[in-house]
Amino acid sequence: MSSVATAHSAPAPLVALTEDEVLFRDTVRQFAQETVQPHVRQMDEKGVFEPSLVRNFFELGLMGIEIPEQYGGGGGTFFEAILAVEELSAVDASAGVVVDVQNTLVNNALMRWTTDDQKKRYLPRMCSDTVGAYALSEAGSGSDAFALQCRAELKGDEYILNGQKMWITNGKEAGVFILLATVDPSAGYKGITAFIIENEFPGFTVGKKEDKLGIRASSTCELILEDCRVPKVNVLGEVGKGYKIAIETLNEGRIGIGAQMIGLARGAWIAEFQGIQFQIAQMATEIEAARMLLYNCARMKDAGMNFVKEAAMTKLYCSQVAERVASLCVEIYGGYGFTKDYPVEKYFRDSKIGKIYEGTSNMQLATIAKLVMGK
């Protein structure tokens, strides 16, 4: 048998990191352990995210990882954003999702679909002091996202928005929202349009904050739009093309949720120390398999390849592994695992969200089935 690969040409293993990536990962890991960890228990109990941590995220450059340096960002890769979410989530999945939504949803959409003028107005803020949120879901439209009812009507130089959004992560902290509304309900998905909304726009208010099972410190809020005035220049992308922005942004975003779940699984696993070796070996194997899906998918995105199927697989599988690992860790701890004396019960509660947001597991399965069956 002839061997084509030589020592020089052999592809690097999927989990191999460059020197820069190792440095970046270790910096975030140290920050998570030293600075985030001390706040985790209280944030979970109170259901409030510690504001100083958000400032720390900006100072460390974690809120604009991929934003080009000319706008004050890190000029980094999507893969680095994934590493950051994994490392933060190993300590606290709420910290992980604050950074995840900022980078993989909001900044991603802003970098890709904005005009030059919008880039100049918003990208520097996203790197320096402004948290972002991504508002698609409504009370009556989650999985069926394009049934959204939030209405946008053009009047002169402004759109007037009316409606409500639900479940919006970072809602309490955010200054900028990417929000999807329809300019023509009779046009179905072709009426959907994306807007850049600032929390100080007239007619915009943040409503009820949900009291949740897991990721309790991450704010999940209702948004209320009552004759909310949005300058026409704040349409993101083209009018009627918001569905494309929503789909493509979420394709990338769900890789971030995979990272959140793999970080969480690792964190629960590290928190574990009593020995039941076969179960531990099984967990280690599943985490490794999930991480390979995740890293490969993030590298595909950076390489400009089509990653839609792999992103759905990543989110589906990483969230399954996270829940299994965290659940098993609760059991391995015995009675203590069920108490708040040990962190495993929190990892277990936090793991549940991975199967729900950015497309439920059923929605991931539907995407995968469609793509593998060539429909």
Ligand X SMILES: Cc1cc2nc3c(=O)[nH]c(=O)nc-3n(C[C@H](O)[C@H](O)[C@H](O)COP(=O)(O)OP(=O)(O)OC[C@H]3O[C@@H](n4cnc5c(N)ncnc54)[C@H](O)[C@@H]3O)c2cc1C
The residue ranges that bind ligand X (CB under 6 A) are 134-137, 142-143, 167-169, 212, 215, 220, 353, 356-358, 360, 362
Q: Judged by CB, which is closer to ligand X: 102, or 137?
A: 137
Closest distance between ligand X and the C-beta of residue 210, in Å?
Answer: 7
Lookup: tokens for 41: 């228990």
CB 43 within 8 A of CB 217: yes
Closest distance between ligand X and the C-beta of residue 98, in Å?
Answer: 11
CB 171 within 8 A of CB 223: yes
Q: Judged by CB, which is closer to ligand X: 264, or 332?
A: 264
Instruction: Give the whole-angstrom CA distance, residue 21 versus residue 77.
Output: 10
Lookup: tokens for 113: 């679909």
Q: Packing angle between helix 19-31 and helix 78-91, nearest 10 degrees?
A: 30
CA angle 342, 268, 282 (to 5 degrees): 130
The CB-nearest residue to ligand X is 142
Q: Judged by CB, which is closer to ligand X: 212, or 299?
A: 212
How far CA 163 is from CA of 149, 150, 167, 204, in Å, comes to 7, 4, 14, 10
Q: Judged by CB, which is closer to ligand X: 103, or 220?
A: 220
Lookup: tokens for 145: 């996202």
Closest distance between ligand X and the C-beta of residue 19, in Å?
Answer: 34
Closest distance between ligand X and the C-beta of residue 278, in Å?
Answer: 32
Instruction: Give the whole-angstrom CA distance, residue 359 versus residue 335.
Output: 34
- Looking up tokens 């993101």, which residue turns up? 236
**Residues labelled catalytic:** 358
Q: Judged by CB, which is closer to ligand X: 92, or 272?
A: 92
Residues 6+ away with beta carbon under 8 Å from 122:
110, 114, 130, 176, 196
DSSP 13: P
Q: Under DSSP, is residue 138 helix (H, G, I), strand (E, B) or coil?
A: strand
Instruction: Give the whole-angstrom CA distance, residue 123 versus residue 106.
Output: 10
CB 217 within 8 A of CB 94: yes
Closest distance between ligand X and the C-beta of residue 111, in Å?
Answer: 18
Instruction: Give the whole-angstrom CA distance, residue 168 versus residue 133.
Output: 7
Q: Judged by CB, which is closer to ligand X: 39, or 165?
A: 165
Closest distance between ligand X and the C-beta of residue 168, in Å?
Answer: 5
